[in-house]
């Protein structure tokens, strides 16, 4: 599931380069995964490749877009106009990829009014109004930890049904709400874990064991030709 967006990006790139047919082998190589996995994944879409040939790029792009619901835009609203909120709003790739920023809100009246990436920061009390008038389904939480739960509750009350949470807290929301979390500290700590293993392994300071590193965890394999 998390791989479909990756395939999609690669396929779009390939289409830009006038490639119109691709094998599972090649796609796997570009995506840094196993070819059998690519075929299994694509088989769930019900879309068919051609045996002996491969998959038609344009058709696959269409199918994946369809499956992911990317046939139309999904406006998002950002809660929190601090460093991160500003960066997200300013990052053009958001709108480009079908997720235009319908609004940014903050609790701090001092932040209201400034313009970020073409969108004016509004007060959080206007959240419901933005969500309703712009038909927003997806909310992004870019507040400090302390404000995240409140932001989530406001988003849910406003009618948002999916949340992307950048705050390092476990949100408590109704189970019908889809939540995804991006936690920078967690990512860095996982890297730190590997660095530490590296260090202790070579010096033999610690005996054995530790948590598993099956093969090459989350690591991208070289994909050059």
Partner DNA sequence: CATTGTGAAGCGTTTCACAGCC
Partner DNA sequence: GGCTGTGAAACGCTTCACAATG
Euclidean distance between CA atoms 30 and 116, whole angstroms: 35
Give the footprint of DNA on residues 53-112 (CB under 7 A): 53-55
Task: Please identify which residue in 93, 209, 212, 222 interacts with DNA, judged by CB under 7 A.
Answer: 212
Segment contacting DNA by CB under 7 A, of 39-47, 65-73, 97-105, 187-195: 39-47
193 touching DNA, by CB under 7 A:
no
Comparison of 35 and 182: residue with beta carbon closer to DNA: 35
In whole angstroms, how close is the CB of 210 to DNA at the nearest point? Answer: 12
Three-class secondary structure assignment of the chain: CCCHHHHHHHHHHHHHCCCCEECHHHHHHHHCCCHHHHHHHHHHCCCCCECCCEEEHHHHHHHHHHHHCCCCCCCEEEECCCHHHHHHHHCCHHHHCCCCEEEEEECCCCCCCCEECCEEEEEHHHHHHHHHHCCCCEEEECCCHHHHHHHHHHHHHHCCCEEEECCCCCCCCCCCCEEEECCHHHHHHHHHHHHHHHHHHHHCCCCCCCCCCCCCCCCCCCCCC
In whole angstroms, how close is the CB of 18 to its own copies at the nearest point? Answer: 19
179 binds, among DNA, its own copies, none (CB under 5 to 8 A by kind): its own copies
Comparison of 47 and 137: residue with beta carbon closer to DNA: 47
48 binds, among DNA, its own copies, none (CB under 5 to 8 A by kind): DNA
159 binds, among DNA, its own copies, none (CB under 5 to 8 A by kind): none
Task: Please identify which residue in 25, 108, 125, 183 interacts with DNA, judged by CB under 7 A.
Answer: 25
Comparison of 60 and 127: residue with beta carbon closer to DNA: 60
Comparison of 48 and 91: residue with beta carbon closer to DNA: 48
Task: Tell me which residues touch DNA (CB under 7 A).
Answer: 22-25, 33-37, 39-40, 42-43, 47-55, 212, 214
């Amino acid at each position: 599931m998390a791989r479909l967006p990756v395939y999609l990006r690669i396929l779009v790139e390939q289409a830009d380069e006038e490639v119109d047919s691709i094998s599972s082998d090649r796609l796997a190589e570009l995506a840094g995964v196993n070819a059998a996995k690519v075929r299994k994944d694509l088989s769930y879409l019900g879309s068919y490749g051609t045996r002996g040939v491969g998959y038609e790029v344009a058709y696959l792009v269409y199918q994946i877009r369809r499956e992911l619901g990317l046939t139309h835009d999904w406006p998002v609203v950002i809660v929190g106009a601090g460093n991160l909120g500003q960066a997200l709003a300013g990052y053009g790739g958001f709108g480009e990829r079908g997720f235009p920023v319908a609004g940014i809100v903050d609790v701090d009246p001092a932040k209201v009014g400034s313009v970020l990436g073409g969108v004016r920061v509004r007060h959080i009390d206007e959240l419901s109004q933005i969500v309703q008038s712009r038909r927003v389904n997806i909310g992004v939480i870019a507040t400090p930890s302390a404000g995240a739960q409140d932001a989530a509750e406001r988003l849910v009350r406003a009618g948002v049904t999916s949340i992307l949470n950048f705050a390092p807290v476990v949100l408590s929301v109704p189970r019908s709400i889809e939540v995804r979390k991006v936690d920078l500290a967690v990512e860095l700590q996982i890297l730190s874990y590997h660095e530490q293993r590296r260090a202790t392994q070579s010096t033999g300071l610690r005996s054995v064991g530790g948590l598993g590193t099956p093969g090459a965890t989350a690591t991208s394999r070289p994909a050059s030709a």
